[in-house]
């Protein structure tokens, strides 16, 4: 039997049974390929399950993958109304769990399998000759010890949520952070529900300026209404909160716009003790209370005293350790796929949408390995499931050899409605004249503020024709964020395919 035949007999390993991993499995089945889904948790969507209580801001129409929908409908699925807003728990119970239990998919799912390493059989990272014909080996940690699986390709949909960023403003844990870990929750604890007893009547510090922080602050405000002894403190590393306050009515997702507006109203009401421009360096405990020590923007020392509990909502980062033995190429600061980075860099983008992208932008030097879903964004925020669904459709088409379908990438995403705000990450400056769609040029380079990503510079690092922007006149209508690759000039399309581009749509 030839090597190619041997490889083709192997399954495609899908790492993680979150919404994007399960969508990948559905696409693989639809194309007659065999998935092997390896999930660390004991059930599907272990990450979403940690914030079951949170109402999502994207309605069902954006939350269900098309291949998954087709598979479910074959089995009499009662599809929820497109415009309904599920909680994370409802997404799991009404969509992901039924999907995973379908007879076509269930036999391909393995739980309690935490992937700890991926390599190629007979090859370390250095060895080249014959590499592409070698199967992947995926090693997992299970309750019974390590296991290994062979695969023809690997779709890594492990997300980022299980690797939260620390409280320390410099990207490393604050001094004392791990020792005082019992008093710190990462992510979105159910402060007004299941974990109410831990937070009621407490002085709670929320750290971060994203949607998770917003959700926790609003939930704590609800708790404080029920138990007025509860007090809420909010610390942010920046004083530029335009991103989290959002685009209000201009947001393509109404619920996301409202979340930001409710947070702004809460802040304006004075119900929060606010610490902007506060950079956390150290946490100490004395007299049963936590004292959070940091610096202000001008370098002067400052402290937030008398804290009982901390909710850390500073984002998350991908686990790059599992691909240590693969030839992967990441963006140096986002840790996303290299070609995707210019499209999603929060230093430059605020629209919340991303230009359509697929297998080409997601590819690594290691052929057959793709990071998709939230992990593909690395440390960049604003990932939406709909983006991941289109990613896996394209990647699976490429694995099936259908390059026409793989390259026909289409993505319709709602914008946040804050595209007119030029964001320098963590130091957003409101500058109506130079936004994501009229703003900064290539990453880290001198920029011509008059020429933005939708009317200005092209791919990062390339010589650029300032008269022809990456959107080349195909700038999306405000608030829709809809841009089809087929609408773009062929010249731009080629550039994108080869080197990625800098654009907000």
User: Per residue in 463-498, is it b (16+ CB within 10 Å) or e — as a string?
Assistant: ebeeebbbbbebbbeebebbbebeebeeebbebbee
283: left (phi over 0), alpha (psi -120 to 50) or beta: beta
46 is an interface residue for ligand FAD by CB under 6 A: yes
First vs last Cα of the chain: how many Å apart?
47
Closest CB to ligand FAD among 383 and 492?
Answer: 383
Closest CB to ligand FAD among residues 36, 397: 36
Give the C-alpha distances (Å, rounded to integers) separating 330 from 320, 356, 496: 9, 19, 17
Among 373, 378, 381, 452, binds ligand FAD (CB under 6 A): 373
Instruction: Tell me phi and psi for residue 484, to 5 degrees.
Output: -100, 140
Mapping DSSP to helix (H, G, I), strand (E, B) and coil, where does residue 83 land? coil
Binding mask 61-90 for ligand FAD (x = CB under 6 A): -x----------------------------
How many chain residues interact with ligand FAD (CB under 6 A)?
A: 39
Does residue 272 bind ligand FAD (CB under 6 A)? no
- Please pick, from the candidates 77, 161, 234, 369, the single residue that binds ligand FAD as defined by CB under 6 A: 161
Is 331 an interacting residue with respect to ligand FAD (CB under 6 A)?
no
Which residue stretch of 11-19, 123-131, 327-335, 484-492 sits at the interface with ligand FAD (rule: CB under 6 A)? Answer: 11-19
- Binding residue (CB under 6 A) for ligand FAD from 14, 25, 26, 54: 54
Cβ 425 to ligand FAD, closest distance in Å? 19
Nearer to ligand FAD by Cβ, of 282 and 412: the residue is 412
Least separation, in Å, of the C-beta of 187 and ligand FAD? 7
SS3 of the chain: helix, strand, coil, percent, to 5: 30, 20, 50
Only one of the segments 207-215, 285-293, 396-404, 456-464 lies at the binding site for ligand FAD (rule: CB under 6 A); that segment is: 207-215
Closest among 373, 352, 123 to 256, alpha carbons compared = 352
Stretch that binds ligand FAD, among 221-229, 383-391, 445-453, 481-489 (CB under 6 A): 383-391
Q: What DSSP string runs through 219-276?
A: HHHHHHHH-TT-EEEEE-S-S--HHHH--GGG-SSHHHHHHHHHHHHHHHHT-EEEET
HEC string of 280-324 equals: EEEEEEECCEEEEEEECCCCCEEEEEEECEEEECCCECCCCHHHC
- If one asks whether residue 45 binds ligand FAD (CB under 6 A), the answer comes out as yes
Give the distance from CA 63 to its chain's centroid: 14
Check binding of 421 to ligand FAD (CB under 6 A).
Answer: no
Q: How open is the CA angle 93-99-100, to the nearest 5 degrees?
A: 95
- Binding map of ligand FAD across residues 85-114, x = CB under 6 A, - = no contact: -----------------------------x
Nearer to ligand FAD, 22 or 224 (CB): 22
Nearer Cβ to ligand FAD (447/482): 482
The nearer residue to ligand FAD, 115 or 290, going by C-beta atoms, is 115
**Which segment (54-62, 172-180, 273-281, 426-434) binds ligand FAD by CB under 6 A?**
54-62
Q: Which residues pair with 140 in a beta bridge?
A: 115, 147
Site string for ligand FAD, 109-138 (x = CB under 6 A): -----xx-----------------------
Residue 59 in the binding site for ligand FAD (CB under 6 A): no
CB 372 → ligand FAD: shortest distance, Å? Answer: 7
Give the separation between CA 252 and CA 104, rounded to whole angstroms.
35
Task: With contacts defined by CB under 6 A, name the span among 9-17, 343-351, 392-400, 417-425 that binds ligand FAD.
Answer: 9-17
**58 binds ligand FAD per the rule CB under 6 A:** yes
Cα separation, 435 vs 352, in Å, equals 13
Comparison of 20 and 505: residue with beta carbon closer to ligand FAD: 20
From residue 241, alpha-carbon distances to 124, 211, 258, 285, 327 in Å are: 46, 11, 15, 29, 38
Minimum distance, C-beta of residue 71 to ligand FAD, in the bound complex (Å): 17
Phi and psi, residue 263, nearest 5°: -65, -40
Q: Mapping DSSP to helix (H, G, I), strand (E, B) and coil, where does residue 340 land?
A: coil
DSSP H or E stretch at residue 406: helix 403-407
| 158 touches ligand FAD by CB under 6 A | yes
CA distance 208 to 263: 13
Residues in 214-233 at the binding interface with ligand FAD, rule: CB under 6 A: 215
By DSSP bridging, strand 289-295 and strand 279-286 are: antiparallel
Interface residue with ligand FAD, options 7, 12, 14, 16 (CB under 6 A) = 16
| Minimum CB distance to ligand FAD smaller for 19 or for 378 | 19
Site for ligand FAD, rule CB under 6 A: 15-21, 38-41, 45-48, 51, 54, 56-58, 62, 114-115, 157-159, 161-162, 188, 211-212, 215, 322, 373-374, 383-385, 388
């Amino acid at each position: 039997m030839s090597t190619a035949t041997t490889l083709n007999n192997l399954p495609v390993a899908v790492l993680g049974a979150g919404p994007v991993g399960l969508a990948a499995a559905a696409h693989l089945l639809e194309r007659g390929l065999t998935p092997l889904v390896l999930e660390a948790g004991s059930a599907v969507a272990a990450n979403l399950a940690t914030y079951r209580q949170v109402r999502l801001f994207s309605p069902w129409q954006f939350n269900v993958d098309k291949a998954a929908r087709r598979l479910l409908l074959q089995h009499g699925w009662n599809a929820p109304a497109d415009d309904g807003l599920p909680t994370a728990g409802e997404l799991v119970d009404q969509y992901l769990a039924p999907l995973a239990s379908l007879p076509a998919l269930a036999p391909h799912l393995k739980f309690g399998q935490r992937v700890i390493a991926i390599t190629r059989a007979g090859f370390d990272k250095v060895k080249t000759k014959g590499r592409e014909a070698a199967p992947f080996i995926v090693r997992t940690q299970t309750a019974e010890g390590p296991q290994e699986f062979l695969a023809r390709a690997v779709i890594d949909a492990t997300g980022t949520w299980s690797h939260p960023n620390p409280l320390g403003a410099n990207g490393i844990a604050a001094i004392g952070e791990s020792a005082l870990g019992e008093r710190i929750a990462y992510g979105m604890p159910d402060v007004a529900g299941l974990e109410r007893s831990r937070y009621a009547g407490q002085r709670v510090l929320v750290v971060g300026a994203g949607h998770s922080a917003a959700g926790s602050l609003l939930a704590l405000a609800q708790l404080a209404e029920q138990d007025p002894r509860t007090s809420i403190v909010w610390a942010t590393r920046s004083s530029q909160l335009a991103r989290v306050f959002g685009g209000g009515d201009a947001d393509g997702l109404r619920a996301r716009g409202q979340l930001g507006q409710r947070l702004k109203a809460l802040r304006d009401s004075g119900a929060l003790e606010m610490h902007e421009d506060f950079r956390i360096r150290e946490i100490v405990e004395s007299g049963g209370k936590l004292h959070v020590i940091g610096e202000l923007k001008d370098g002067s020392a400052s402290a937030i005293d008398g804290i009982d509990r901390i909710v850390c909502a500073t984002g998350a980062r991908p686990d790059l350790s599992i691909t240590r033995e693969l030839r992967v190429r990441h963006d140096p600061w986002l840790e996303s796929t290299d070609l995707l980075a210019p499209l999603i860099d929060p230093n430059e983008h605020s629209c919340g949408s991303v230009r359509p992208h697929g297998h080409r932008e997601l590819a690594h030097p290691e052929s057959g390995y793709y990071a998709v879903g939230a992990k593909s964004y690395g440390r960049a925020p604003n990932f939406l499931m709909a983006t991941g669904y289109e990613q896996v459709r394209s990647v699976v088409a490429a694995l099936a050899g259908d390059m026409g379908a793989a390259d026909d990438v289409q993505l319709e995403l709602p914008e946040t409605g804050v595209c007119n705000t030029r964001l320098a990450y963590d130091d957003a400056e409101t500058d109506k004249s130079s936004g994501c769609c009229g703003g900064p040029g290539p990453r880290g380079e001198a920029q011509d503020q008059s020429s933005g990503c939708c009317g200005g510079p092209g791919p990062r690092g390339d010589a650029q024709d300032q008269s022809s922007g990456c959107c080349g006149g195909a700038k999306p209508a405000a608030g829709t964020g809809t841009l089809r690759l087929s609408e773009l000039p062929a010249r731009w399309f080629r550039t994108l395919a080869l080197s990625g581009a800098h654009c907000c749509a």
